[in-house]
Every structure is written in structure tokens, then in C-alpha cells.
Amino acid sequence: MVWYNEIRGEHLMNYDEIVKKWQQKPISDVADIDLKLHNFRILFAYHSGKIENDRIDYHDTREIFENGKVSNYTGDIRTLFEQKNQKDCYEMLKTLIVEKAPLSIELVKKIHFELSKGTYDESRFAKGERPGEFKKNDYIVGYFDAGSDAINVEADLSGILEEINSYNGDRILKAAAYLHAGFENIHPFADGNGRVGRTIMNYYLIINNHPPIIIFEEDRKEYYKALEEFDRKEELEHLISFLLGQCEKTWNKR
């Protein structure tokens, strides 16, 4: 990663320093995005996918991003689709990032489609579930085994997106944490909510001139604990603290 190479030999940056460094090089076109996120996009895809799928392999992920294919692959086809979808989603979002297009119901559905196409199993299809469409049935999720009822998903998610898009304060990380926790609490899709939630959180951060974050798969227990705290108490401090630490880990990683 460009940033990783730039900071070799320097002190470990804290969150404020990372944000300042990110904002020194504004994004003006797609080439800027590819430069800033050269290795980040691969590491993000690997860790975001592996949080829910232990079969995901870093080297396969890198091959997909760099060559568009993998060599001598003998694993599960769904796993391969998931990582190819991560690349497709990144490519789809680049122009929208440059335009700073606000998050919308349509965009969230598009992100879900890109990340989930070709990965839904027969049981979900039999229930009428489709990539890019909100869930049509209720599923057991979260601390209270809930999530929004299927009939309320669009209204609940629209409320959060409206709040996020109208926010004009400077606590962008807190707003991103609220978006992520609220999205996962609603659990709007039959599958793929984690990958979509982490993607829209980073999209929001980038279009608000803040560095995106990798949630490392080895830290998943703490991640789930922070989300559970929001489910139980509607408190964000644990998640904000966790994301701050993950941001520092992302951009200081050697």
C-alpha cells in the first residue's frame, strides 16, 4: 500500500494524525482512489469476507483483484464468487465516490447485489430472497434474535440514511459507527449484511474525507461484542473506540 510504504520507519500515527494525512491528498478522480486504496481494497476484501467465511484466502483475494482470476483453485465456488464480488463492488463504487453520491436505498441495494450475486443458496431462493432485494422473511440475528421485521426494513433504513446524509458535524467516525450499528441492527437482507454494512460504512467515511477502516478478522470477537452492546443498550462508545483502534491498526500496519 502506498501509505504503508510512506510510513515505514516513522512513529505509529494516532487517529488524528491519520485523518490529517488522509485529508492532505483529496480525491479528485478515479486514479486518486486507486492510488490511495491500492492495497487497502485487497486487505479490506479479505478481512471483511473472512469475518463470516473462514475459507477465504488472502492470496486468492489478491489474485482476483490483480489478475481477475485465480490459478489452480480447488475450493468452494461460493467463496470465489464472494471475493470476485468484492472487486466488482469496489469498481462500481469508484465513480460514485468521486461524485460523493449520498447513500440511498437504491445504492444500498446495488451494493448488496454486487456483493451477493451468485452466492444465495437454494433455500433462500425458495423463500423468494434475491440479491439486491430486502429480505422477505424474518431471520434470527443479533442479541435479541430480532432485526427489523421485513415489512419495516425500508422505512427503518430510510430513517438512518436520512439522519446520516443530513449530518453536518465534525464527528464523522461517530456518525459512521451509528450508521454501521444501525444497519446491522436492522439486518435488512437475508444474507450478506456484514459485508454490506462494512462497505457502506467505508463509503460514508471516504465521501466525507475520512480514511476507511479494515475490521480485522482476528478482532471479530471484539467487533461482535461492540455491536451487541448497541443492540442491548443503544450505546455507541464501545464501537467508536473499537473503530478508532481498527483505523490506527489499518493505517499503521507494517
Query: Which segment, 9-18, 62-71, 157-166, is predicted with the most confidence on average?
Result: 157-166
Over the stretch 57-113, which tens digit does the pLDDT of each residue have?
898 899 899 988 787 777 788 888 899 999 999 999 999 999 999 999 999 999 999
What per-residue confidence (pLDDT) applies to 5? Answer: 40
Share of the chain above pLDDT 70, in %: 93
What per-residue confidence (pLDDT) applies to 135? Answer: 96
13-252: CATH topology: Fic-like fold (1.10.3290)
**pLDDT classification of 145: cutoffs 50, 70, 90:** low
What per-residue confidence (pLDDT) applies to 104? Answer: 98
What per-residue confidence (pLDDT) applies to 254? Answer: 52
Which grid coordinates belong to 152? 419495516
| SS3 state of residue 169 | coil
The Cα–Cα gap between 215 and 227 comes to: 13
Which grid coordinates belong to 243? 473503530
33 pLDDT above the threshold of 90: yes
3 pLDDT above the threshold of 60: no
Task: Give me the amino acid identity at 187.
Answer: H
What angle do helix axes 105-116 and 153-166 make, rounded to 10 degrees?
110
In sequence order, what DSSP letters do the residues of 115-160 get, joined into one string?
HHTT---HHHHHTT--TTS--SS----TTTT----GGGHHHHHHHH
7 pLDDT above the threshold of 70: no
115 pLDDT above the threshold of 50: yes
Over the stretch 38-49, which tens digit does the pLDDT of each residue have?
999 999 999 999
Domain range list for the chain: 13-252
234 pLDDT above the threshold of 90: no
What per-residue confidence (pLDDT) applies to 245? Answer: 97
Is 201 or 234 the better-scoring residue by pLDDT? 201
H or E element, residue 95: helix 77-99
| Selection from 175, 193, 192 nearest residue 184 by Cα | 193
Residue in this structure with the C-alpha cell 461484542, named with its chain if needed: 225
Residue in this structure with the C-alpha cell 483505523, named with its chain if needed: 247
**pLDDT classification of 142: cutoffs 50, 70, 90:** low
Over the stretch 50-68, which tens digit does the pLDDT of each residue have?
999 999 889 889 989 998 8
193 pLDDT above the threshold of 90: yes
What per-residue confidence (pLDDT) applies to 1? Answer: 40
Q: Which sign does the torsion angle of CA 204, 207, 213, 215 carry? A: positive
2 pLDDT above the threshold of 50: no
Which grid coordinates belong to 155? 422505512
> What 8-state DSSP symbol labels residue 45?
H
